[in-house]
A = this chain, B = another copy of it.
Amino acid sequence: MAKKSDSYLSVEKNAIVENGFHKEKNQVSESLFSLGNEYSGVRGFFEEGVSLPSLIGTYYNGIIEYGLKDTPNAYLGIAKRTHFTINSTNYLKAIIIIDGVRLDLGKEEVESFKRSLSFDNGLYERSFFLHRGKKKIEVSFKRMLGMNSPHEAVQEISFLSSEDADLDITMSLDGTILHWGDHNYWEKGDHYESDCEYGLYLKTPTTKQSLLSLMKIEAPCLPIKTDSLDKEIDVHYHLTLKKGIKTTFTRYVINIADKKGTLDYPSTKKSASEELDRLVHKGLFGLTKENEEFFALRKTASDIEIDGDEKDQQGIRFCLFNLLQAYTGLDGDDNIGAKGLTGEAYSGHAFWDSETYCLPYYLFSNEQAAKDLLLFRYHTLEQAKKRAKELDCEGACFPIATRNGEEACTLWQHASTQLQPTSAVGYAIFHYMNLYDDESFLREYGLEMLLEISKFLLTRGQWNQTHTRFGYYGVMGPDEFEVMVNHNTYTNYMGKRIMSYTLSILQDPKYENKTLLKRCGYDQKLINEMKEAIEKMCILYDPKTKLYEQHQGFYDLPHIDVDKIPVSDFPLYSHWAYDRIFRNDMIKQPDVLMFLFLYASDFSKEVKKANYEYYEPRCIHESSLSPSVHSIIAEEIGKDDEALSFFGFATRLDLDDYNRNTSEGLHMTSIAAAWMNIVYGFLGLRSDRTPLAINPKLPKRWSHYSVRLMYHHRHLKFDVYPNKLTITNEDAPVSLIVYGQSVMVDKLYEVNR
């Protein structure tokens, strides 16, 4: 797995900076320079357009449409029609013509190109000098999204010319963008102009959602013309750039996305107009101040500082910054797409990654966001119950890929057989409760989810012929290279643990709720069946070898020496026949190692070591989520070099475009996995029991690092030095297990090693 970096950005601590325009990386930069605030995201495309590969993308969390055609061969239980987050109005578009020549960085060479995005305030800036004959004109752009006020966006475009020059600029709200370059999913609602405000109101035909984009432009002159097209408004300006005088256009935008389709249009117009007034009053300066406060506050909860490797430092800050851009707990109906809001790949869908890879970051930085992420599943419980029925089961089955709670994955071999999204929600509730012991959450939401999840896990399971073994037949575990297997140990183990957790809560008088039990169809018979299933769950473990067999029959599969697969064969999906990938003992990503990680405290180092040594050599890490889990376990079992090697490019997967597909959008869940890699790997955090355990080590290439975490409402800071660990606690004392010792951390705790 020799992945190579393709770096072109300057290395800075708190920003990404592109010096000189990298044409060939245009679409990669568009992803990297994306802005987002959970509510919406906009790629870092050029407002003036460019004749280079480009994806003009603006997305709203929860604004979706359905595909135009039904899935072919949609047997029962296969999603009949998929849905996805749709590309929406481009509110930054500004066609620029100077001295009669249209600005196009794909065609003309410019000087001193610089683009930056600051992690301290989310300000995107771009500037360069262009030539028209002997004239030299500096053009600069700024843009920003409001982090606390997610409807707000500001754009500034400035010109400074060495001689008088002629400027034509058309600033648009463009609702005609094609999703996947193929189809525009919006219908015209309305457009209007009043008091120099321009509004474009669009609606989705099937999902009955809407988007109102309202803009006001502060310009040095009045527009010469306004065109109101079907789904586009173009405001044209013409003026002379006076020699040496800076000319600036500032556009203020309010975007109101009506996800639920419940907003009344006239009152939306009215409130948008009021919000726009406030934004104009605030200005870019005011918005910048607000964003700075936002990021500074978040930093106290979750910063990571690294000394000794500037690239890692920049990388992890980029990750932390983008986690905040993707999701901050703004809305319990939002979720984190595999690409965040930075592209169309993965269709804006949330996967089990949300609970498995992203949730830990929020658990340790923002309780509300963590809870909100769980609430997304609660809010889509009805869809999950419907899905279980579609699969001829009971309870709730959470989808493999979704934005609205319905299954969006049309591949039965994934959607009908991967139970990990469902068990991941169960695990996430357990994880959240372990840290926050939020009784009211469990009472109001968690228990009902657990009951429905466990019912699904019971009814999807089956008994073998002799009724001696319970388990899951015809499944695909996390390792997607093994299709339709029986007794996948991950699936069985998770099923056993989640059902046990549910029953343990039913034992607790605190959570007694007969009405709920009845509503969920729990009676003594069902509980007994569940107990029997838990007791007889088939877990393929051999105490002699300490190995868990990945699934029944795994050991007998043809062997492949993965090291002998030519590099040119990767990614395998593009080079191997589909079925060939599945017919051997090669694995795509951790499967046994995954439950050894999730329930880490339950397994000895010996067990982890045995399984790591068996499965790691069989793993090709085709998923970008794979190396982090391997790194974490390697660190725990003392394979520090391997741990560091797997960590490798974790924080810079996108910055250095290791997978050569950052152009499609950021790998948002890998970004979360990079955080996990440091916190669970090097810091050695274990959060599946209380009190929290840490076991910090200092990776070779760093001289010091610090991690800030929130835990039980305490702000904790861990500083790891070559021979010393300090823990700073700004809040009430808290008990932790540090290097295996139970300690009470009050203000400052220090240990030399």
Contact = CB atoms under 8 A, between A and B. Distances in A.
Interface of A: 71-73, 75-78, 390-392, 410-413, 416-417, 462-465, 469, 473-474, 483-486, 552-553, 555-559, 573-580, 582-585
A465 B72 CA distance: 38
Contacts of A73: 410-411
A83 to B, nearest CB: 15
Contact of A465 (B412, B416, B555, B580): B555
A77 B411 CA distance: 16
Contacts of A76: 573-578
Contacts of A557: 464-465, 473, 486
B553 A392 contact: no
16 contacts: A75-B573, A75-B578, A77-B577, A77-B578, A78-B578, A390-B577, A392-B577, A416-B577, A462-B558, A464-B556, A465-B557, A469-B556, A473-B558, A474-B579, A483-B484, A553-B553
A113 B575 CA distance: 62
A197 to B, nearest CB: 43
6 smallest A-B Cβ distances: which pairs? A77-B577, A75-B578, A462-B558, A416-B579, A474-B583, A473-B583
A71 B411 CA distance: 12
A559 B576 CA distance: 35
Contacts of A576: 76, 392
B484 A72 contact: no
Contacts of A78: 578
A181 to B, nearest CB: 16
| Residue from A416, A417, A553, A578 with most neighbouring chain B CB atoms (10 Å) | A578
A462 B417 CA distance: 25
Nearest to A463: B558
A442 to B, nearest CB: 31
Copies in the assembly, this chain: 2
Contacts of A462: 558, 583-584
A587 to B, nearest CB: 14
A172 B583 CA distance: 56
A469 B555 CA distance: 13
A417 B582 CA distance: 11
Contact of A578 (B416, B485, B552): B416
A412 B583 CA distance: 14
| Residue from A391, A575, A579 with most neighbouring chain B CB atoms (10 Å) | A579
Given A72-B72, A390-B577, A464-B557, 18 more contacts: A71-B72, A73-B411, A75-B573, A391-B577, A391-B579, A392-B580, A412-B578, A416-B577, A416-B578, A462-B584, A464-B556, A465-B555, A465-B556, A469-B556, A483-B483, A486-B553, A552-B553, A552-B556
Contact of A582 (B469, B484, B585): B484
A574 to B, nearest CB: 7
A410 B577 contact: no
Nearest to A573: B75
Contact of A72 (B410, B486, B552, B573): B410
A637 to B, nearest CB: 24
A70 to B, nearest CB: 11
A462 B586 CA distance: 14
Contacts of A484: 483-485, 582
Contacts of A410: 72-73
Contacts of A553: 486, 552-553
Nearest to A75: B578
Contacts of A579: 77, 391, 412, 416-417, 474
A721 to B, nearest CB: 47
A391 B474 contact: no
Given A553-B552, A553-B553, A577-B390, A474 B483 contact: yes
Nearest to A538: B556
A62 to B, nearest CB: 25
A559 B473 CA distance: 12
| Residue from A75, A553, A556 with most neighbouring chain B CB atoms (10 Å) | A556
Contacts of A573: 75-76
A574 B75 CA distance: 7
Contacts of A75: 573, 577-578
Contacts of A417: 579
A583 B413 CA distance: 13
Contacts of A411: 73
A461 to B, nearest CB: 9
Nearest to A552: B553
Contacts of A577: 75-77, 390-392, 416
Contacts of A574: 76
A43 to B, nearest CB: 25
Contacts of A555: 465
Contacts of A580: 77, 391-392
Nearest to A77: B577
A463 B558 CA distance: 6
A474 B557 CA distance: 10
Nearest to A487: B556
Nearest to A78: B578
A71 to B, nearest CB: 8
Contacts of A575: 76
A559 B485 CA distance: 17
Nearest to A585: B465
A482 B579 CA distance: 15
Contacts of A390: 577
Contact of A558 (B392, B413, B464, B585): B464
A568 to B, nearest CB: 14
A658 B558 CA distance: 45
Contacts of A391: 577, 579-580
A578 B574 CA distance: 27
A469 B559 CA distance: 12
A116 B72 CA distance: 39
Contact of A556 (B71, B77, B486, B582): B486
Contacts of A578: 75-78, 412, 416
A585 to B, nearest CB: 7
A74 to B, nearest CB: 9
A580 B77 CA distance: 9
A688 B497 CA distance: 55
Contacts of A583: 462, 473-474
